[in-house]
Chains A and B, each alone.
Chain A
Amino acid sequence: MKSSPALTDVQFRLTAAAVFVAVLPHMLRLPWLISAPVLALITLRWVQRRRSTKRLPAWIKLPLVLLFPVLIIFHYGNLFGREPGSALACAMLVLKLLETDNRRDARAAICFSAFVLMSALLFNQGMWITVLLCAALVILLAALRALESARTQWLPDLRSGAFALVGALPLALCAFVLFPRLASPLWGAPNDTTARTGLGDRMAPGTMQELLIDDSPAFRVVFDGTPPPRDKLYWRGPVLWQFDGSAWTRPEWLASRSGDDDVHVRGARVGYEVTLEPSERHWLLALDVPLLAPQGAVRGADMSLVSRSRVDDPTRYRMVSAPDYVLEPVLDSLHRRLALQLPAGFDPRSRALAQRWRDAFHGDPNRIINAALGMIRDQFTYTLNAPLLGRDSVDDFLFDTQRGFCEHFSSAFTFLMRAAGIPARVVTGYQGGYFNQFGNYWVVRQSDAHAWSEVWLEGRGWVRVDPTAAVSPQRVQAGARAAAGASAPWYQADWLMSIRNRMDLINRFWNDAIVQFNALRQQSLLTPFGVDKAEYPQLMLAMLILGSLLLGLFAWWVMRAPKPAGDALDAAYARLCRKLARAGTARGPAEGPLSLAMRVATTWPAQRNLQELFAQYVGLRYASALPAPERIQNFTRAVAALRLPAATRTARQSS
């Protein structure tokens, strides 16, 4: 086997750059135990190669080969799976760079870089990261290009890499859209859990704090008609019944189905479509109160929607809700008992307060509620920087700190209601959202997370009471960020948020068009061409046809004849000569216009205008250095208008 040529400096550097950009997106995610040695090795190899082109000895490489699997097993526990697998791939790629000395090694390293680059997308499917990674292909292509020549500049290689990538866009898009998707995976889909922020089924003081500073979109909504007013935009999530003194939880066994007669719709129904971001949880969000359950989901007795499968991909569903409703007018005894449950031995001061109210107002729920809201409105402050609470968290909050955000308020309020004998529960979800007028949709972010209370009143069913609205009406009218004021993190500044909310349109398009594109939507692609349900063969055929067209176009562009040199006058004269040649009098290889004119005169003695044309050409070409443009235009027009009769056989022979 012929040994592969050794690498020049430029070739090595571009290969190292390709490896570096492939590893880089993983570095942000991998533990430093692995990312630090990987980056260090790339740097050391770069420096070492600058000093000498000698190969690294085996006693350096061999321990490193063993080191990385050990580190990975130490951190993850095994070598397989999405996370450890990608860490191992990064490590192997860098080790390959260590021994890359000739062209074959470099090619292998670059190929593998593409693979590692792609695997970064298994962890993050965001638009910007995808765009960046696709752009990183330029460096890979440039490195491959550099391997083909021994030049000492790298800029032309980068340029041709960029050209190749841009030129490949149409074909790539065609293949992307039409390549048949798998309806079900060939092998096990990844089931790793990465800790994503989102609504949980547990609420303790402080758990939502992380959520409230997280600006990633939670879901997007498109309303069919006019949306309800902003203060009615309560997006219902998990409903929490059980309180153990510190945290509110949802009893598992409550996931029973709810009947349709539990809800009496009072006003108009609102239809809309929700696109949920992956949450890695089972909750589906819906406007209070949902009237149906989407396919594959169940509406629980507490009107929260639970999907059977975990939401690992962006999910879209249609919903109908009723903003004005009467919910569960008759409370069954089980629910009543549950909605009055309180842990024994916690928060004595709050219980005492509730008891006082109960006695003072003779058990009138409306007056008790008003008293509680009035107390919160008068004495409490809304802030994201809530102080820590002790064992009796409700007591601490109500009587000592008196500062907090939605979950403190809803927790304390619900506690008071229960202690006063009013059935109550905590509802978590989101409140509000941002209307994007360019896309005509609402985006609701994680920071819009909210918690409120529901109390059950005789004859009115479950009624929503939002104690946070009492202390900070802005929270409901203008949104969480307006209410947070100075305690909001810097990146939630108003002007920045308004830009980001507008930019969300692009993210939404990305999620809609790219991330969520699946086998189901692909089937309807060919509807305009009369194929209702495109299956594998139709898609393949369509891809081949469109792909061939694009390739043909590209091939034509590559092989097109070069533009003939010369100016407009030359082009017009060339056209005249072509016309003459078609009619039987071809210009000789070195024939000037005058001698051609003489031959033409013998062939077509009657055509006076031909001689005139030749005279014009000679005059324009040779008599003046810079002929007037109008005269050239006249000549061009005359040539275009020229009609020649086919020359007779004798005439052609004589010429």
Chain B
Amino acid sequence: MTGTAASAIRTSLRDRLFEYAERRLPALTRLKRVESLPIRLDRHRIYVLPTRFGLMLSLLLLVMLLGALNYNNNPALLLTCLFAAAAYQSVFAAFATLNRLDVTALRAEPCHAGDEMYFSIHFHIATRPRHSLRLRAVDAEIAFDLDRDSAATLRIHAPQRGWLRPARLRLCSEYPFGLFEVWSWINPDFAALVYPRLESNPPPLPRSGAQAQQLADRSSGDELAALREYRSNDPPRAIAWKASARRDELLVKEFETPRGHEVVLDYATLRGLAHEDRISRLAAWVCLAEAARLPYALALPQTRIDAGLGADHRHACLRALALAPGAAP
């Protein structure tokens, strides 16, 4: 118990020190300035410090040095000097790992709040391959090598809807021998959209009584408009089996839904729920309706999106939900 309390205090102290450092020394942490891509790492923004292991090794080298000097043993001194020089010069190899490295692009697929977002950071290397790089965001870290221009993908936890900034990224390496850590802060001008959290067991889509009846007995109500080729997400019940048997390929019945038959997902109808819960449920309904291929419209207090279907429409609806202002006053 006391241990966790102590570590909590240490963490908060560390955070506060860090904040202070960032206020006073923006150049050191690069938090202040959001940069536009591409970002080139150079000596103005690459920092190096010995690791704990490096300090330990230097202590050992000191002992070896003293021993060799004391016994006036020149071969031993030569060996010590050689090892020390190799260890010391590894600082340049460490530096060269980050030097002239270009961050060319960032990409992220939208995800739902509570999930993990996949950020990919694209690098361009002008000269030699880079080894043993590590990229760290707030709570995620990955290790990778760059043999040619390629990307590293970082999984970041997305806690809430809206724009997610990866904040600053720490690109670091202990190449080649783990004696020095070289690092650079990257704070690219980039934000990814996080869709609202999906309600886990949403109620069925809201419909009027007539609509529900039509859904149960679709073939009588809707007018068959055309037959088309099967696409991979079509529900099995829409397949026109007889026509398919005649044509030797799967055909799907396409119905023309009369206007007014679309699902309207209205924020206002969800009384009795908290603001975020409403948005969660609407988002879940959007996904349900899209999966059921029912045209849907979205009505929010500030915005209204007309009925439609398809990935773009879904994205527009989820984006509107994601960016909806917080709890209504």
Contacts and interface: CB of A to CB of B under 8 A. Distances in A.
B176 A145 contact: yes
Interface in B49-98: 53, 56-57, 60, 63-86, 88-90, 92-93, 95-96
Interface stretch (B31-39, B102-110, B124-132, B160-168): B124-132
A175 interface: yes
Q: Specify which of B56, B64, B74, B75 lies most central, judged by the most chain A CB atoms within 10 Å of its CB.
A: B75
A141 B174 CA distance: 14
Mostly helix, strand, loop or mixed at chain B's interface?
Answer: helix
A559 B74 contact: no
B99 interface: yes
Contacts of B82: 134, 137, 165, 168-169, 172
A313 B73 CA distance: 9
Contact of A515 (B75, B79, B84, B177): B75
Mostly helix, strand, loop or mixed at chain A's interface?
Answer: helix
Nearest to A127: B75
B308 interface: no
A118 B57 CA distance: 14
A179 B99 contact: no
Given A115-B64, A118-B67, A182 B72 contact: yes
B43 A187 contact: no
A137 B86 contact: yes
Contacts of A173: 81
B81 A164 contact: no
A148 B73 contact: no
B285 interface: no
A555 interface: yes
Given A185-B71, A185-B72, A111 B77 contact: no
A122 B176 contact: no
Contact of A562 (B100, B175, B179): B100
A114 interface: yes
Contacts of A168: 82, 85-86, 88-89
B83 A137 contact: yes
Contact of B78 (A119, A176, A186): A176
Nearest to A182: B69
A137 to B, nearest CB: 6
B145 interface: yes
Contacts of A518: 72
Given A111-B56, A168-B86, A176-B81, A130 B75 contact: yes
A14 to B, nearest CB: 12
Interface in B233-282: none
Interface residues of B, number: 50
B295 interface: no
Interface string A111-149: 110110111011001000110011001001100110111
Nearest to A519: B72
A506 interface: no
B83 A114 contact: yes
B114 interface: no
A148 B126 contact: no
A49 B77 CA distance: 35
A176 B86 CA distance: 13
B79 A175 contact: no
Given A134-B79, A558-B92, A107 B53 contact: yes
B159 interface: no
B178 A147 contact: yes
A265 interface: no
Contact of B79 (A111, A137, A313): A137
B89 A111 contact: no
A149 B132 contact: yes
A172 B176 contact: no
B74 A554 contact: no
A216 interface: no
Given A148-B177, A175-B84, A562 B126 contact: yes
Given A171-B89, A189-B70, 14 more contacts: A111-B60, A115-B63, A118-B64, A118-B80, A144-B178, A148-B178, A160-B176, A164-B89, A169-B82, A182-B69, A185-B70, A186-B66, A514-B78, A562-B126
15 contacts: A111-B56, A111-B57, A112-B60, A114-B60, A134-B78, A137-B79, A137-B83, A147-B178, A164-B89, A164-B90, A168-B86, A168-B88, A176-B81, A186-B69, A562-B100
Interface of B: 43, 53, 56-57, 60, 63-86, 88-90, 92-93, 95-96, 99-100, 126-127, 131-132, 143, 145, 174-179
What are the nearest 7 A-B pairs in CB distance?
A168-B85, A168-B86, A171-B85, A172-B85, A130-B75, A144-B177, A121-B76
